[in-house]
Amino acid sequence: KVKEASIQITGMTCAACATRIEKGLNKMDGVEQVSVNLALEKSSIKYDPSKLSEADFEKKIEALGYGVVKQK
């Protein structure tokens, strides 16, 4: 069963930033589909919850040099 995460991202300043994040997230085992919207500063990630969690995506985005807005 696929889950979808919505993560708010900070620090993207050009379109290539969004592409970098999409590529980085796509490489993770268990990720099915990624889209990053530069204007909305938002990512949508479809993934297998038996392999990954939202915290993994937050760590990955931070490792790529961007920030995340943590929910809850």
65: Cα separation from own chain's centroid = 12
Q: Fill in the per-residue mask, 17 to 56: x = in contact with ligand 9UX (CB under 6 A), - = not in contact.
A: x--x------------------------------------
Query: Cα dihedral angle (31, 32, 38, 43), rounded to 10 degrees?
Result: -60
Q: Which is nearer to ligand 9UX, 17 or 28 (CB)?
A: 17
Choose, by CB under 6 A, the member of 6, 10, 16, 35 that binds ligand 9UX. Answer: 16
d(CA 49, CA 67): 22
Binding site residues, ligand 9UX, CB under 6 A: 13-14, 16-17, 20
